[in-house]
Structure 1
Amino acid sequence: MKTEFKFSNLLGTVYRQGNVIFTPDGDSLLSPVGNRVSVFNLTKNTSYTLPFAHRRNISHIDLTSNGNLLLTIDEDGRAILTIFPRRVSIYHFSFKSKVTALRFSPNGRHFVVGLGRKIQAWKTPLVPGSDGGELDFAPFVLHREYGGHFDDVRHLSWSGDSRFFLSSSKDSTARIWSLDPEEDFEPTVLAGHRQQVRGAWFSSSQEAIFTVSEDGALFRWEFVTRTQQQSGDAENAEPEDIERWRIVQRDYFMQNVKLKCATFHQASELLTVCFANGLFSLYELPSFSNIHTLSMASSPISTISINKSGEWLALGSAKTGQLLVWEHQSESNILKQSSYLDTMTTLSFSPDSSRIITGADDGLLKIWDVFSGFHVATFTEHSSAVTGSAYSRRGNILFTSSLDGSVRAWDMLRYRNFRTFTAPQRLSFSCLAIDPAAEVVCAGSHDSFDVHLWSVQTGALLDQLSGHEGPISTLAFTPDGRMLVSGSWDRTIRTWNVFDRSQSSESLQLTSDLLCVTVRPDSAQIAASTLDGQLTFWDIESSVQQATMDGRRDVSGGRTLRSRRTAASTPGTKSFNSITYSADGTCLLAAGNSKYICLYSVSTLTLVKKFTVSVNLSLDGTQEFLNSSAIMSNGLPRDMIDTDGEASDLDDRIDKSLPGAKRGKDATKRTVRPEVRVTAIEFAPTGRTFCAASTEGLLVYSLDTAGMDDFDPFDLDIDVTPQNVETILQQKQPEYLKALIMSFRLNEKQLVRRVYEAIPYGQVSLVVRDLPRVYLGRLLNFLASQLESSPHLEFALSWIGEVVGVHGRYIKERAGQFSSELRAVQRGIDGIGKIIRNLSQRNTFEIEFLCQQQRDTNVPLLTNGHGTSRGKADEADVDMADEDGWIGFD
């Protein structure tokens, strides 16, 4: 079994804090999720997470105007510079203090950051003007430093020519700065607001400035001339013209709540403001006419962004973990995703590995699409924490158990609950198992020592299996369906012959309380995890203990903020709460209340690999050693002091929750920092992916990583260069095979596409026949990406047909080696088929509608010169219809 799993995506969390931004083309949205950045493609309905991770939660992100460079900054002021199209981090830098604002200039040559009261302008590490730019030897070079504000800078914006920029501060003023010294220009203070200024922007003509403050005041500033008498003798004084920025218009939003954030689109001069009660409004400036006023949620909106065309608005709420993309012209949602507010407790893969079901402490069940990374549906029937979930073998039924005392069966074709199982007395079920035929479902509870069995078809309670002397902690059916395995806190495992008349059971004695049990896919072995950190393996047929392994040293890691011990001696982290076998049964994956996931070899009982869940210091349990310098004189850690100052107002500090209630007004309020832990873990049925439900979200680790996005050259020599590839293509008789092989060796995606599109259709079969088989995997991966991004569908399908026809037998004999490439190709073909089917259906409906309209109105049709006829429609409308892909019109 391959063990080179790599982090591929983060699900379950879409937004935490910071600002969200659109890419320059407006198709994708970047959202900070803890110490990572997730990218949502709004046109293809896919998402992925960038591979780098900060040491703390990200507070600011921004892209250059061409979309090549991404700069992310965390709460400590540490920055990571990334080549965004390649997803490669190239430089780490520290600003030495907390960053409060960030903005790249429109020309991409500089960026400004707010460091408390100061502002610094830095040179962008890429030199503009060249093709893609070339890296400087000094990636971060300080250009200038500005000072003058009396409080933290909260917002920065540039003029269109990148010569000036505006800064907004908590000192209730905005200031105008020049990037370089300008003749007859001095930094200007725009004072007049009564509360902190949330934003300041230049108009499209740069002749006006708009500022908006927290109390809902909008000021328009213009550079006007005012005549004033010179000092001296009033009778002989001469008038003097004074030019300065002055307020020419005052408007107010008339809301009784604070304004949290705002954004301004210069091209259309649309201003969007968001308030603490979840309302957001669109205004047209300078007329101040209200276009829309809508509500996202009852919680305040933390950030807002608008794409380059001004059509889509992205809104994020840190309080509810919600992300929304709204199109104001059609008044429709483009994207609406929400995060879990409580800890995820369980997860299950669908049999085809395309969907993941997760349950949480808030009782919500969510369905996630593995390939797109988006949330598909939510089930809200459970009223308490979900404790277990299991799919039927066919994948059409999902079973879940909950602390609300119910076990529910869900129809996954219609997305509805069709059966509910309950016990004679009120119990809180803690675990669940179903037989492979999905005829019997059983559940265990911490309140009762019996295992309850129900019939799926009738819903009747079949039996209560007695024998345990402690609460039931885990249940599992053997894959062959012959036995039921139960584990309890009474330090025993019992195997039950449920379908025999005798219903006999056998007890296996352990040394500590049982936490989790799993059965090998061949139904020959049981693996059990106990509270003392031991992993025990048993033979099912003979009930003989085969091996024991101590995993305390492997799983222990990470100390809490209040702990006075190192990670190795911290109690409570030295056991596995969740274990699972791989699809082939050769490896065992184990995780617990720790930042580590351990992968063991079953045959040799050795640790094969160790995965680190998170390095985010904003979470408890990620530090290894005790840092005495972070402890103050009173014994409290320095990180526990709130120095942000956002909750300084009296209204924000009042606690309106009921006395003694764990959940009051704010369901997301935390009195302590969240602690990193893994609550559930499972392998995909394909064996090439596994998921872990952790504090930061649903972590997906896969072997099927996109190889074209990683620079992994091989067989390089001095003659393999992009220039030589171009030379080969420009010859009178180009050697297409040689050019293709050289591009694969360089592994430059743009170069591979250049060679691929240059090969004539008639030469495709010859190139495929002579292609060395070592490049088959790379070629299939590239063709799969072309199916998703290239408009030349027939050309790509012809390539795939030639590859399968020539090398099909070789690929079939090595199906395991090419499994990820074949799945990528299949996914691309299915996606294209779905798009074509939808387009054909839409065209059919629209043509039928037009024909019906013509019959109803009895309008004669006009011939277009080709023998076909058209109605009296506007030619522009007909042309637009043809561009949309209508079938049947010339």
Structure 2
Amino acid sequence: MKTDFKFSNLCGTVFRKGNLVFTPDGNSVLSPVGNRITVFDLVNNKAETLPLENKRDIRRLALSPNGNLLLSVDELGQALLINFRKRTVLSYFKLKGKVRDIKFSPDGKYFAVGIGRSVEVWRSPGYAREFAPFELHHRHGGHYDDITHISWSPDSRFFLTSSKDMATKIYSVDPIEGFRPTTLTGHRYAVVGAWFSKDMSAIYTVSSDGAVCVRRFRPHGVEENLVFGEFPRDEEGNLVRTIWFTEERHYAMQTARVHSAAFSWATGLMVLGFTNGVFGIWEMPGFNMVHSLSISRAKINTIAINTTGEWLAFGSSKLGQLLVWEWQSETYVLKQQGHFYDMACVAYSGDGQYVATGGDDAKLKIWNALTGYCFITFTEHTSAVTAVHFTKGSQVVLSASLDGTVRAYDLVRYRNFRIFTSPTPVQFTSLAVDASGEIVCAGCQDTFEIYMWSMQTGKLLDVLSGHEGPISGLCFRPDGLSLASSAWDRTVRLWDVFDRSKIVERLDHNSEVLDVTFRPDGKELSASTLDGQIHFWDVLKAAPTGSIEGRRDIAGGRKVGDRVTAANNSSGKCFNSLCYSADGTAILGGGNSKFVCLYDRRSGILLRKFQVSKNQSLDGVQEKLNSKHMTEAGPTDLIDSDGIDSDTEKQADRSLPGVKSGDKSNRLLKPEVRTRAIKFSPTGRQWAAASTEGLLIYSLDETLVFDPYELDEDVTPDTIRGLARKGEYLRALVNAFRLNEKPVIREVYESIPPLDVALLAKDFPEAYLERLLKFIASIMESSQLLEFHLRWVSGLLSNHGTFVKTRSVALQPVLRMLQRSISRMHQDIGTVCDKNHYSLDYLLVQGKRAVEKNKDEEETSATDGVTMSNIFSGFSDDEEKNIDADAVSEDAMEVDDAGVPTSV
């Protein structure tokens, strides 16, 4: 089994805090999710999380106008310079303070950073690695409170800064004759944003009370308005004094405060987001309302507008919502929301295409593992969802909850079609479904019983009792003959659900059992206990076969209030979730730690440790104890001394003389990093972990891995291509798999004639069968040769069915991967056909008409032939020869002469 799993995507979290940024083409939006960045492709419907991390939660993002450079700044001022197109980090930089806003100039030569009360202008770095990529151009001050917003002029010569001191200032990048930094006042509350108009003839400022001011620029004592930046002179060449004045003042009639704002140069529209979840669109400078809509129950933290002004992006950090709205058609382009509380459980569908997650917010969400989007959310539960499970056909998903119900959902019609309940109210904590999908079992934590229902009728079939503690885990054997249950009474019990006359096997442990799972072949069972061990049992003999001591492996990270380092704090570390790999050769374990451990089953050796997060904004990530962060009031990380984007901002009052910070009793809560559930994909290509940050997906990346198989010196790309040119396709394909370079394999594979596939599939060596099936499954979704792939799959499975059956367990991941690819292609083609139903009918009708027309023409030509034969039948043989000779000479005349007729 390959262990080079790499982080590939983050689902379940779409927005945390910070700001949203559109790409220059306006087709994608960048959203900060914790200390990572997710790119939502709004055209291709895909979500991609960049493979890089900041040290802490990202506060601000800035993308250069050409889309090459990306700046991400965390809450302590640590900045990453990222090559956005190549997804690589170019440089790390420390900004001396907490960044309030950061913006690139429209020409991309500078970027302005608001740090506290001052603003710094930096030269934009180059696109390659440099010794000192950041160069400070100038530092400006003048504000009396923190800066809230920065915006640039269209010509990149000036920029505006808004502040909580109710003022807006105008600065120039370079010294300009006749210009001095200007302060615009007149608001009674903190200024949320300020922007230049497209022609630079006006400035629009917005304050938190909904007041919008339109400022104009003109010479002193003259009513004529000017374009800012073109300073007038008198007849003697002296500069004329100019002033800014408030031309109009408007008010957004809302009962709530303005929390975020944005302005579009392309359309001249201003968008305001309020604390009650309502946003409004106004046309400037007349401030005419275009549209207003309530999109959330919490305040709108950030607003972004794409370059064309058609799409508006909204982010709400309290509910974790990300919305993209097209205001002209009044439709949602994107509407995503993660789990409000922690994610508690995760399950893969049978083909690995979908992932189901349940959370403490009583919601069940279904995610597409390929695109990273949530396409359906079920909200029927009234309490936390504790377990989810797919049936064999992946058309039904079940969930157990603390509200005392187990619900079955139809993924075809998207409805809750079955509810399983117990005679007395209980709280269900575990769930299992047999291989046929007919028997549903759920364990509870209060009565220590296991309830069993029929999927068809929904009736309660039996109640399994015997445990003396809360049920922690349930798992059906893959063949469906027995059910394993683990509990806090230190036992694992094996039940025969179809024959209750048999004795229940009891497997005793030395500590409380937290989870239980079967190996894919059903011959082995593993259980994790509270003392940090993983125990293995032979199912047929009910005897232990080994154990793994994993407490030291999973230990790591210390909490903020801990007085000891992580190395001395391994007590209480254990695996609360276990999962076998698809081939059963490895086992994966996760728990209340930042690590997920992958073990080899036979040797018990730790193969890899995956650190699910390096975000220091989470509790339990740091390893060492730093005493300077401990104060008399407690750890500094738990004291709210700043109040940025937090609901306790008003409590940190600095209005009184001599007060430097608010009450030290105001505390923050840092979420603890942990993994509550892990699952391997049935294809064996990826695994998912339900962690504090969301649903982390790790997958295999083999693009740069050289892994030959039985390689000889004479097996080279040139010799393989030479065999393919000679027509020896079988030898060429086998040698390509021995070399194991995907481009060469694909070149030889696609050069095979389709008519030879049946013969080659019959003679193909069985040693390379698994590799060929895996290769077909990997390229099927990106290739257009659908019929060619299906010919290969049909030929291989028909001619090598016995081999596939005998090695069904080893080939199961490959077959599931192949099934997912085929079902995906079937779904895509079906969607295209449904959308083009009438076009296909039209083409079929036209095809029939063309065939009928050709038949009519053939019949007409045949009739003409018969007529000519009748005509020739009236001549003698000599006359026919003369007619043929004249026709031949006439044809020759037409060929020899260049369009000029000669004598006939």
Fold shared, TM-score > 0.5 on shorter chain: yes
Give the aligned partner of residue 865 of structure 1.
none
Give the aligned partner of residue 688 of structure 2.
691
| 1:215 and 2:209 aligned | yes
| 1:682 and 2:671 aligned | no
The worse-fitting range, judged by mean Cα deviation, of 429-438 and 70-79 is 429-438
The secondary structure found in structure 2 opposite 1:353 is coil
Which of 613, 635, 638 aligns to 1:637? It is 635
- 1:314-325 to structure 2, matched below 5 A, reads 314-325=313-324
Find the aligned partners of 1:502 and 1:613 in 2 and give their Cα distance.
Answer: 46
- 1:710-725 to structure 2, matched below 5 A, reads none
Q: Deviations over 1:718-739 (max 9, x none)?
A: xxxxxxxxxxxxxxxxxxx99x
Give the aligned partner of residue 477 of structure 2.
478
2:22, 2:304 within 8 Å by CA — same for their partners in 1?
Answer: yes
CA separation of 1:772/1:491 partners in 2, compared to 1, >3 Å: closer, same or farther?
closer
Deviation at 1:799, TM superposition (A): 11
Give the aligned partner of residue 853 of structure 2.
none
1:555, 1:573 within 8 Å by CA — same for their partners in 2?
Answer: no
Find the aligned partners of 1:300 and 1:323 in 2 and give their Cα distance.
Answer: 12
Give the aligned partner of residue 861 of structure 1.
none
2:191, 2:206 within 8 Å by CA — same for their partners in 1?
Answer: yes
Find the aligned partners of 2:323 and 2:133 in 1 and give their Cα distance.
Answer: 35
| 1:814 and 2:771 aligned | yes
Give the aligned partner of residue 837 of structure 1.
833
Q: Deviations over 1:202-248 (max 9, x none)?
A: 111112111111111111112112239xxxxxxxxxx9963112211
| 1:525 and 2:524 aligned | yes
Find the aligned partners of 2:676 and 2:427 in 1 and give their Cα distance.
Answer: 18
Find the aligned partners of 1:648 and 1:423 in 2 and give their Cα distance.
Answer: 43
Find the aligned partners of 2:466 and 2:706 in 1 and give their Cα distance.
Answer: 61
CA separation of 1:782/1:358 partners in 2, compared to 1, >3 Å: closer, same or farther?
farther
CA separation of 1:460/1:257 partners in 2, compared to 1, >3 Å: closer, same or farther?
closer
Letter in 1 for 2:619: D
Q: Deviations over 1:119-178 (max 9, x none)?
A: 11111112xxxxxx5554421111111111111111111111111111111111111111
1:20, 1:29 within 8 Å by CA — same for their partners in 2?
Answer: yes
Find the aligned partners of 1:111 and 1:194 in 2 and give their Cα distance.
Answer: 29
- 1:31-46 to structure 2, matched below 5 A, reads 31-46=31-46
CA separation of 1:245/1:835 partners in 2, compared to 1, >3 Å: closer, same or farther?
farther
The secondary structure found in structure 2 opposite 1:184 is coil
Find the aligned partners of 2:753 and 2:363 in 1 and give their Cα distance.
Answer: 42
Find the aligned partners of 1:375 and 1:336 in 2 and give their Cα distance.
Answer: 9
| 1:511 and 2:510 aligned | yes
CA separation of 1:51/1:779 partners in 2, compared to 1, >3 Å: closer, same or farther?
farther
Find the aligned partners of 2:441 and 2:759 in 1 and give their Cα distance.
Answer: 51
| 1:405 and 2:399 aligned | no
The secondary structure found in structure 2 opposite 1:642 is coil
Give the aligned partner of residue 78 of structure 1.
78
Letter in 2 for 1:51: P
Find the aligned partners of 2:611 and 2:650 in 1 and give their Cα distance.
Answer: 37
Give the aligned partner of residue 59 of structure 1.
59
Q: Deviations over 1:46-73 (max 9, x none)?
A: 1110000111100000111111111110
Q: Structure 1: any 5+ residue segments left out of the alignment?
A: 127-132, 229-238, 655-668, 716-736, 742-764, 784-795, 849-890
Q: Deviations over 1:618-654 (max 9, x none)?
A: 111111111101111x151111111224589999669
Deviation at 1:196, TM superposition (A): 1.3
- 1:876-887 to structure 2, matched below 5 A, reads none
2:491, 2:509 within 8 Å by CA — same for their partners in 1?
Answer: yes
Letter in 2 for 1:293: S
Structure 1 residue ranges, 4+ long, deviating more than 6 angstroms after superposition? 647-651, 712-715, 768-773, 779-783, 796-808, 844-848
Find the aligned partners of 1:590 and 1:650 in 2 and give their Cα distance.
Answer: 38
| 1:138 and 2:132 aligned | yes
Give the aligned partner of residue 851 of structure 1.
none
TM-score, length basis structure 1: 0.80
Deviation at 1:298, TM superposition (A): 2.2
Letter in 2 for 1:121: V
1:595, 1:677 within 8 Å by CA — same for their partners in 2?
Answer: yes
- 1:332-731 to structure 2, matched below 5 A, reads 332-570=331-569, 573-632=572-631, 634=632, 636-645=634-643, 672-704=669-701, 707=703
Find the aligned partners of 1:255 and 1:74 in 2 and give their Cα distance.
Answer: 33
CA separation of 1:769/1:562 partners in 2, compared to 1, >3 Å: closer, same or farther?
closer
Structure number with bigger Rg: 2
The worse-fitting range, judged by mean Cα deviation, of 409-418 and 57-66 is 409-418
Q: Deviations over 1:690-738 (max 9, x none)?
A: 0000010000000157x4xx8x9999xxxxxxxxxxxxxxxxxxxxx99
2:452, 2:463 within 8 Å by CA — same for their partners in 1?
Answer: yes
CA separation of 1:550/1:12 partners in 2, compared to 1, >3 Å: closer, same or farther?
same
1:584, 1:687 within 8 Å by CA — same for their partners in 2?
Answer: yes
Deviation at 1:459, TM superposition (A): 2.0
Q: Deviations over 1:480-504 (max 9, x none)?
A: 1111111111111111122225132
Q: Deviations over 1:378-397 (max 9, x none)?
A: 11111111111211112222
1:573, 1:594 within 8 Å by CA — same for their partners in 2?
Answer: no
TM-score, length basis structure 2: 0.78
The secondary structure found in structure 1 opposite 2:204 is strand
Letter in 2 for 1:351: G
Find the aligned partners of 2:758 and 2:441 in 1 and give their Cα distance.
Answer: 49
The secondary structure found in structure 2 opposite 1:814 is helix
Letter in 1 for 2:112: V
1:689, 1:703 within 8 Å by CA — same for their partners in 2?
Answer: yes
Deviation at 1:805, TM superposition (A): 10
Find the aligned partners of 1:315 and 1:122 in 2 and give their Cα distance.
Answer: 28
2:178, 2:239 within 8 Å by CA — same for their partners in 1?
Answer: no
The secondary structure found in structure 1 opposite 2:622 is coil
The secondary structure found in structure 2 opposite 1:833 is helix
Deviation at 1:466, TM superposition (A): 2.5
Find the aligned partners of 2:220 and 2:759 in 1 and give their Cα distance.
Answer: 82
Find the aligned partners of 2:520 and 2:579 in 1 and give their Cα distance.
Answer: 10
- 1:779-794 to structure 2, matched below 5 A, reads none
Deviation at 1:254, TM superposition (A): 2.3
Q: Deviations over 1:267-289 (max 9, x none)?
A: 22111111111111111111111
Letter in 2 for 1:419: R
The secondary structure found in structure 2 opposite 1:554 is helix
Find the aligned partners of 1:832 and 1:443 in 2 and give their Cα distance.
Answer: 36
Sequence identity of aligned pairs in percent? 46
Deviation at 1:836, TM superposition (A): 3.9
Find the aligned partners of 1:108 and 1:39 in 2 and give their Cα distance.
Answer: 21
Find the aligned partners of 1:682 and 1:563 in 2 and give their Cα distance.
Answer: 31
1:777, 1:821 within 8 Å by CA — same for their partners in 2?
Answer: no
- 1:179-258 to structure 2, matched below 5 A, reads 179-227=173-221, 242-258=241-257
Deviation at 1:769, TM superposition (A): 10
The secondary structure found in structure 1 opposite 2:170 is strand
Give the aligned partner of residue 724 of structure 1.
none
Give the aligned partner of residue 115 of structure 1.
115
Give the aligned partner of residue 155 of structure 1.
149
Paired residues in the alignment total 754
Give the aligned partner of residue 178 of structure 1.
172
Aligned CA RMSD, in angstroms, stands at 3.3
Q: Deviations over 1:174-197 (max 9, x none)?
A: 111111111221111112211111
CA separation of 1:815/1:513 partners in 2, compared to 1, >3 Å: closer, same or farther?
same
The secondary structure found in structure 2 opposite 1:100 is strand
1:781, 1:821 within 8 Å by CA — same for their partners in 2?
Answer: no
Find the aligned partners of 1:814 and 1:165 in 2 and give their Cα distance.
Answer: 59
Letter in 1 for 2:481: R
Letter in 2 for 1:422: T
Q: Structure 2: any 5+ residue segments left out of the alignment?
A: 223-237, 653-665, 709-716, 722-728, 784-820, 845-904
